[in-house]
Amino acid sequence: MLKRLIRTLVPESLINRYHYSLARAAAVLYRHPSNELVVIGVTGTNGKSSTTEFIGRMLEHAGARVGWTGTASFKIAEQEWVNDQKMTMLGRFATQKMLRQMVDAGCTYAIVETSSQGISQSRHVGINYDVVVFTNLTPEHIEAHGGFENYKHAKKQLFVHTKHSRRKKIQGQVFEKTAVVNLMSPYATEFLSVGLDRSFGFGIDTMTPPPARGEVGRGAVLEDRPLSIVPIIAEDVVYAPNSTGFLLNGLHFHVPLVGRFYLENALAAISVCRALGLDFEALRDAVSHLETIPGRFERIEEGQSFSVVVDYAYEPAALNAIYDTIKLFAHKKIIHVVGSAGGGRDVARRPILGRMCADMDSIVIVTNEDPYDDDPQEIIDQVADAAIEAGKKEGIDLFRVLDRGESIEKAILLAQPGDLVLITGKGCEPVMAVANGKKIPWDDRSAARAALHKRLQTV
């Protein structure tokens, strides 16, 4: 409430100057640690966390010491812990402090998941990035930015900032400013046009959705690619229920991850590591050791006769990617536990989620997610009412359950052999954001396991 009041009373220009000054002060206080690290920034609507961690794991596999900050977790060399701050990008002083700790721990590389809101508040100022990654762009945080164009502009500022940052020399090597861009995004050209020293473009050699299980993905070759871009294009893609295979630079790659969205994130990480000098043989080996990111299409297995998947997807594009991946699995009904965030976060997406779930899910259970100061029941009703308008029937295949734990328990109880219980919106987040700035302990995965144990004990 106080922040909203300040925003109404103080001119935007003064607020921006305040954020910028804090960012500069934080960098000075911690002695500009980013100048002593190779810094990789990852931005986009979806896939930032997976891409961040994939880059880090692959560099570690190659023998480097790495640190990262992201939505899902933090890492400083051997130390790694879950992000419980409900912030993708920490405040300026916290970020600079963590970068300094990475330097002190002997890290060479730092990966910073860089959000649009963080950029708008100058949290990226004072960080000297070397490689910047654009994963994708779909409507998100529109209310916070005042429109999609402003949202896109904020993302693009990371590339502009990097272009105007000085090149650095680390361990005798000068690092050119490098852009890594998803060529399948309709906005790829805009990010490439910033004109960094080098540009890498990644993509999949198909413009169609993932094929049926076991089929080879072939489609239209990505055309009109600027000659100055180094292409990282996966060909002959084979999607399987437990892995994905593809051809890259004449080598067969195998990733123990499922679905197109994971493949795109892996290709982004491959592109970054290639830009940093790893050869394709080393990349193939590193990719084969990647693991599912906690809370990102994470399967919960407790010996049950049906599938349970927890995923962070909370907006339409991410949820569509989940549905595409689900097509690779044999399943009967989809029983979906879904919600939407409060705090003024993209109110417009609530009915969209409701309609999507009505179309794709057999049973929809709408519940509380992260209400912040909003009325959680009102949020639930906005999602559920749209699902009813799209054809769901209250009490038959549509349920409103305020308590998230009870909603997960209900989904588990309704599941029959061969069904899929899908729990989306929070992933591995260890807290729920409620009124008055409070964060209460919460974990969808723990709740699912508890519900499974309860059901299995009563069978």
pLDDT band at 161; cut points 50, 70, 90:
very high
Q: Is residue 382 part of a domain?
A: yes
Q: Is residue 293 part of a domain?
A: no
pLDDT at 344 over 90: no
Look up residue 148 and give its two tokens: 């999609």
Domain identity same for 61 and 210: yes
Note the pLDDT of residue 88.
86
Domain identity same for 198 and 158: yes
The CATH number covering residue 449 comes to 3.90.190.20
**Integer Cα distance of 106 and 99 in angstroms:** 11
DSSP assignment of 127-184 equals ---SEEEE----S-SHHHHTSHHHHHHHHHHHHHHHHTSPPEEETTEEEPPEEEEETT
pLDDT at 219 over 60: no
Q: Is residue 54 part of a domain?
A: yes
CB 205 within 8 A of CB 219: yes
Domain identity same for 341 and 231: no
Stronger pLDDT, 458 or 26, i.e. the higher one: 26
Cα-flanking dihedrals φ and ψ of residue 82, to 5°?
A: -75, 140
Stronger pLDDT, 173 or 346, i.e. the higher one: 173
Q: Is residue 306 part of a domain?
A: yes
Domain identity same for 343 and 280: no
Note the pLDDT of residue 230.
95
Closest-CA residue to 274 (of 264, 284, 288): 284
The CATH number covering residue 92 comes to 3.40.1190.10
Note the pLDDT of residue 303.
94
Q: What is the mean pLDDT of residues 3-32?
A: 80
pLDDT at 209 over 80: no
Q: What is the mean pLDDT of residues 243-269?
A: 96
Q: What is the mean pLDDT of residues 323-341?
A: 94
Amino acid at 359: D
Closest-CA residue to 426 (of 86, 117, 135): 86
Q: Indicate the residue among 245, 265, 287 that finishes a domain.
A: 287
Q: What is the mean pLDDT of residues 176-189?
A: 95
Domain identity same for 279 and 340: no
pLDDT band at 141; cut points 50, 70, 90:
low
pTM for the structure as a whole: 0.89
42-65 residues labelled b (16+ CB within 10 A) or e (exposed): bbbbbbbbbbbbbbbbbbbbbebe
Q: Is residue 231 part of a domain?
A: yes
Helix or strand holding residue 233 (H, E): strand 229-239
Domain identity same for 6 and 142: yes
% of the chain residues with pLDDT over 90: 80
Q: What is the mean pLDDT of residues 300-310?
A: 96
DSSP 8-state code for residue 182:
E
Among 82-86, 111-115, 362-366, the least confident range? 82-86
Q: Indicate the residue among 287, 313, 330 that finishes a domain.
A: 287
Strand, helix or coil for residue 401: strand
Domain identity same for 252 and 345: no
Counting the structural domains of the chain, the total is 2
Relative to beta strand 198-204, strand 216-217 is unpaired
In 77-130, where do the E strands start and end? 79-82, 109-113
Q: Indicate the residue among 266, 287, 308 that finishes a domain.
A: 287
413-446 residues labelled b (16+ CB within 10 A) or e (exposed): ebbeeebbbbbbbbbbbbbbbbeeeeeeebbbbe
Q: Which domain holds residue 348?
A: 298-458
Domain identity same for 270 and 314: no
**Integer Cα distance of 413 and 119 in angstroms:** 43
Domain identity same for 99 and 185: yes
Please state, rounded to an integer, the average pLDDT across all residues of the chain.
90
Amino acid at 423: I
pLDDT at 359 over 50: yes
The tens digit of pLDDT for each residue in 388-436 reads 999 999 999 999 999 999 999 999 999 999 999 999 999 999 999 999 9
**Integer Cα distance of 154 and 43 in angstroms:** 10
- Cα 249 to Cα 204, 231, 273: the distances in Å are 13, 10, 15
Domain identity same for 160 and 77: yes
Domain identity same for 210 and 359: no
Q: What is the mean pLDDT of residues 354-382?
A: 97
The tens digit of pLDDT for each residue in 78-110 reads 999 999 888 889 999 999 999 999 999 999 999
Domain identity same for 258 and 373: no
Q: How big is the chain, counted in residues?
A: 459
Note the pLDDT of residue 251.
97
Number of alpha carbons in the 13 Å side-chain half-sphere of residue 217: 27
pLDDT at 134 over 70: yes
